[in-house]
Structure 1
Amino acid sequence: MIKQLPISVSGSRKYDVRSQFAALCYRIRKNKIQILLITSRGTRRWIVPKGWPMHGLTPAQTAAQEAWEEAGVRGQSDGRCLGIYSYSKETDENGHFPCLGMIFAVEVSSIADEYPEAGERERRWVSRKKAAKMVDEPELARILLDFDPRRPI
């Protein structure tokens, strides 16, 4: 396992940080990889859970925390970044701005019916191929399509 250091965002504002940490939540059923996608709150597009850096947490820990808050899943990440994808982020304060998402695999160990954003999002387990077709970002689609936790790095 790779040792990550916690980051510090003290003194920063959310809109100063133009990177987010994303969770590629997965499980293996009948020897097939399933990816969990959720809808965004605003546009209802299919996305992966992601969020701003959290003070005192590593990027992988932040991704796992976002997986809980946005998708209601708990799991572990080995801390390795699977890749980076770009997208346009919309905020009430700043409108649209470019953003990079660093994505971390989170092997799901439990799923809850009640979680912080349960009433705000839909979630769906799909194949890698289907997940790649459902998301809008081409770089994210490639990461989803190529993902295989059984393959050695």
Structure 2
Amino acid sequence: MVRDLLKLWSPRVDTPEGLRQAGALPYAIVEGRVAFLLITSRRNGRWMFPKGVIEPGMTPWESAAQEAFEEAGVSGEIATRPIGSYRGSAGADESVLVDIDIYPLRVETQHETYREMGQRLRHWVVLSEAKRLLSDPTLARLAVNLHEQLVG
């Protein structure tokens, strides 16, 4: 409960160097409709977007694309500018709060096998279902923002 309160307390946290994370917001346009790809977290099974630490020698968006490939088995065109950020927790006990920048990823390929396929579920959804399933309301707002950019 305290962690949830702290998430809403300030728009940004002073994330320690090396702990800031990057994530991808995988999407596709299917028959004129925007679809988003959600995955489950390994810790608690909540629906989310792929995310992780920014790897040394990689840009944040390259790391986001790598996370999408490893965690969701998708690849495509990643934006170099984030759609926004949200606050999440990191560390073995999830006691460190970090800001996570989210980069839109237009999915071009969905791979049949990928690194974390036995550890996570993946699920394509339209915006209304994304808003219902996403565990963090800020993630839902990011999906709404991207939807508005894509649809007009």
* TMscore range, shorter length: 0.7 to 0.9
Distance 1:127 1:106 in 2: 16
Which residue of structure 2 aligns with residue 38 of structure 1? 39
- Displacement of 1:130: 1.3
Which residue of structure 1 aligns with residue 100 of structure 2? 101
Task: Give every structure 1 segment of 4 or more consecutive aligned residues whose post-TM-superposition deviation is greater than 2 Å.
Answer: 15-18, 148-152
- How many residue pairs match? The answer is 136
The alignment-based identity, stated in percent, is 35
RMSD across aligned positions (CA): 1.7
- Displacement of 1:135: 1.4
**Gaps spanning 5+ residues in structure 2: where?**
1-15
Which residue of structure 1 aligns with residue 131 of structure 2? 132
Distance 1:129 1:56 in 2: 37
Q: Is the 8 A contact 1:70 1:118 kept in 2?
A: yes
Which residue of structure 1 aligns with residue 66 of structure 2? 65
Instruction: Give the counterpart letter for 1:150 in structure 2.
Output: L
Distance 1:75 1:34 in 2: 14
Distance 1:99 1:131 in 2: 23
With normalisation by structure 1, the TM-score equals 0.82
C-alpha distance 112-145 of structure 1, shift in aligned 2 (>3 A):
same
**Gaps spanning 5+ residues in structure 1: where?**
1-14
- Displacement of 1:95: 4.2
Q: Deviations over 1:7-27 (max 9, x none)?
A: xxxxxxxx8633210100000
